[in-house]
């Protein structure tokens, strides 16, 4: 009888210890990831604010890159090339200890592709959010020219939505079309935020092709987040770029082009999932 009692006590003790260990293991958070976020054309770092806060709240490290000629940066537009953007992101990545999850939105897709070609060993994953995903030799302009579903190439009341200013080397979106183009599904607050922060876009990077190799760019895992209500990069073009881009994983968001403003929670959740 004494032996039976001892055995039962031993089993009970082991069960409690196992339960305690399991609970502790369940409570362990995933290791922090290094996210580097790159905004797109006609926008600036502010668009990532809500997503950045949520990723940091999960214990991650987040760097948002301000591309030259955007936000508070006053680099002369006519001096900016795609390589100017690339070098700015490469500099940010080089200062981070360990690999990064490099996220590019729209034009930012061209930029992160060029960065991956130069620094593939620093990148854990490339994430394209409603972004241009080129093949070698393509420019953003070349890709956009194949996109009849984009509203940017259209007209309203006989006026072009997108115009070029040869004097200062910029591209401009008709002001009364900015909300419809970028954030038609956003709150009034975020729509006003986009209008308040709008700046004409340096034109030269749109024309610059990227050179990509299988050994460098091709070696980095790629993820694409589609935006199903996109008026800038149509879902059709997104599908074609995914098909030719060796994308490993695809996610979908039922949002406009500016998903990080329309549904920041959803974007943050996806980026966290991608980082796991």
Note whether residue 3 is domain-resident.
Answer: no
- pLDDT confidence of residue 157: 86
Task: Tell me whether strands 123-129 and 155-156 are parallel, antiparallel or unpaired.
Answer: unpaired
- pLDDT confidence of residue 273: 97
- pLDDT confidence of residue 4: 42
- Give the closest residue to 118 by CA, choosing from 28, 260, 220: 220
Which letter does DSSP use for residue 49 in this model?
Answer: H
Residue position matching structure tokens 């996610």: 251
Note whether residue 21 is domain-resident.
Answer: no
Q: Kindly report, residue by residue over 25-42, the tens digit of the pLDDT.
A: 445 566 899 999 999 999
> Does the pLDDT value for residue 1 go beyond 60?
no
- pLDDT confidence of residue 23: 43
Residues 6+ apart with CB under 8 A from 249: 223, 224, 274
Can you give the CATH number for the domain in which 217 is found?
3.40.50.1820
Q: Kindly report, residue by residue over 252-275, the tens digit of the pLDDT.
A: 999 999 999 999 999 999 999 999
Across all residues in the chain, what is the average pLDDT? Answer: 92
Note whether residue 14 is domain-resident.
Answer: no
Which letter does DSSP use for residue 232 in this model?
Answer: S
Note whether residue 10 is domain-resident.
Answer: no
> Does the pLDDT value for residue 12 go beyond 90?
no
Which letter does DSSP use for residue 32 in this model?
Answer: P
- Give the closest residue to 92 by CA, choosing from 36, 44, 47: 36
Note whether residue 38 is domain-resident.
Answer: yes
> Does the pLDDT value for residue 11 go beyond 90?
no
- pLDDT confidence of residue 28: 58
Residue 196, phi then psi, degrees to nearest 5: -65, -30
- pLDDT confidence of residue 174: 97
Note whether residue 20 is domain-resident.
Answer: no
Q: What percent of the chain has pLDDT over 90?
A: 86
The β-bridge partners of 38 are: 65, 104
Residues 6+ apart with CB under 8 A from 27: none
Lowest-confidence range among 18-32, 208-222, 229-243?
18-32
- pLDDT confidence of residue 207: 98
For residues 159 and 106, the model is more confident at: 106
Q: How many domains does the chain have?
A: 1
pLDDT band at residue 5 using 50, 70 and 90 as cut-offs: very low
Show the CA angle centred on residue 143, arms to residues 37 and 210, nearest 5°: 65
Q: Kindly report, residue by residue over 56-114, the tens digit of the pLDDT.
A: 999 999 999 999 999 999 999 999 999 999 999 999 999 999 999 999 999 999 999 99
Q: What residue numbers bound the domain in which 65 lies?
A: 30-275
Note whether residue 144 is domain-resident.
Answer: yes
- pLDDT confidence of residue 129: 98
- Give the closest residue to 100 by CA, choosing from 61, 66, 67, 49: 61
The model scores a pTM over 0.85: yes
- Give the closest residue to 129 by CA, choosing from 43, 27, 38: 38
């Amino acid at each position: 009888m004494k032996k039976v009692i001892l055995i039962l006590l031993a089993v009970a003790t082991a069960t409690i210890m196992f339960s305690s260990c399991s609970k502790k293991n369940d409570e362990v958070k995933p290791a922090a990831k290094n996210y580097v976020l790159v905004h797109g054309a006609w926008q600036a770092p502010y668009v990532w604010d809500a997503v950045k806060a949520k990723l940091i709240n999960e214990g991650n490290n987040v760097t948002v890159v301000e591309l030259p000629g955007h936000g508070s940066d006053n680099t002369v537009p006519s001096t900016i090339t795609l390589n100017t953007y690339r070098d700015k992101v490469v500099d940010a990545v080089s200062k981070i200890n360990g690999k990064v999850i490099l996220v590019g939105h729209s034009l930012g897709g061209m930029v992160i592709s060029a960065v991956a070609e130069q620094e593939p060993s620093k990148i854990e994953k490339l994430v394209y959010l409603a972004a241009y995903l080129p093949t070698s030799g393509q420019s953003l302009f070349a890709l956009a020219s194949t996109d009849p579903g984009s509203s940017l190439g259209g007209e309203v009341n006989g006026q072009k939505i997108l115009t070029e200013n040869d004097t200062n080397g910029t591209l401009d979106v008709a002001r009364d079309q900015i909300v419809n183009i970028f954030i038609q599904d956003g709150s009034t607050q975020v729509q006003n935020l986009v209008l308040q922060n709008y700046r004409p876009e340096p034109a030269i990077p749109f024309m610059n092709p990227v050179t990509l190799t299988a050994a460098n760019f091709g070696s980095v895992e790629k993820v694409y987040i589609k935006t199903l209500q996109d008026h800038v990069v149509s879902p059709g073009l997104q599908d074609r770029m995914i098909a030719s881009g060796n994308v490993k994983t695809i996610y979908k968001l039922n949002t406009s082009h500016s998903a990080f403003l329309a549904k920041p929670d959803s974007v943050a959740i996806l980026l966290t999932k991608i980082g796991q």
